Amino acid sequence: VIGLYEWSGNNSIIPELWLVPHILPIHPGRFWCFCRLIYMPMSYLYGKKFVGPITPTILELRKELYSVPYHEVDWNKARDTCAKEDLRYPRSLLQNVIWTCLNKIVEPALNCWPVNKLRDKALKNLMKHMHYEDESTKYIGICPIDKALGMICCWIDDPNSDAFKLHLPRIYDYLWLAEDGMKAQVYDGCQSWEIAFIVQAYCSTDLVNEFAPTLRKAHEFIKRSQILEDHPDSEAYYRHRSKGSWTLSTADNGWSVSDCTAEALKVKISYF
């Protein structure tokens, strides 16, 4: 995206997969939520082959990062090159066959007229799904990875859009300043989850009277953190019903979590 690596050096992440019938097991709507929501902006960026402005800084970084001149890099070879320390598990023969077919046959075919009309349709569909995810999570996203990638996609689609502007202030939900510098969380917090356990701990050790004001605040927080409505058109966007549930963090997050719901409900029923 910033111009330090060519798109041809990546294995194909085809956005058209979102257009196949949902009945097929390969449809992204059947993926685990984290996998699906990261694949979504990744396939959008790959489909766009977007590259930002090549500035003098980018040109200097190209010189510094590669052992050969940038224009001499063999991107076909780079596509499957991996340091042995990072190769956690070798790809199978089947995987190699699938990637080769995608890179050599499917991707070139999808970029030819009139088949490339499918790409335009797929990219519009993906942006529709990303807007839904943004709106249903108050622009927090499910994790900082899909939040950052989704924000980039909104900027590419329209840098002056309300969606991009609404993304910006929610960056800080993932950042915090520690004694040794800035940190990024892997989630926007675990407030509901932890408070439910804290309340149970206080109540099981007979500290209720001593911490009564704190427990009243905890009760109010748990009450406010409950999701009160189902997300609209949830099934069309591969989401489960959410009314009455709790998230890992706050109601803004929007993603119901079964064990967080169980613990919060246990606290509400047993102690409040």
φ, ψ at 171 (rounded to 5°): -60, -35
The encoded tokens of residue 133 equal 């995810």
Residues pairing with 184 in the sheet? 175
Are 151 and 269 in contact by the 8 Å Cβ rule? The answer is no
Among 211, 193, 194, which residue's Cα sits nearest to residue 202? 211
Three-class SS of residue 54?
coil
259 part of the active site: yes
Peptide bond into 108 cis (omega under 30): no
Among 118, 153, 128, which residue's Cα sits nearest to residue 38? 153
**How many helices (H) and strands (E) are present in the chain, helices listed first?**
11, 2
Among 236, 225, 230, 212, which residue's Cα sits nearest to residue 263? 225
To which residue do tokens 């050096």 refer?
A: 9
The encoded tokens of residue 17 equal 């997969």
Strands 181-184 and 175-178: antiparallel
The active-site residue, picked from 74, 120, 158, 259, is 259
DSSP state of 231: P
Active site (catalytic) residues: 259
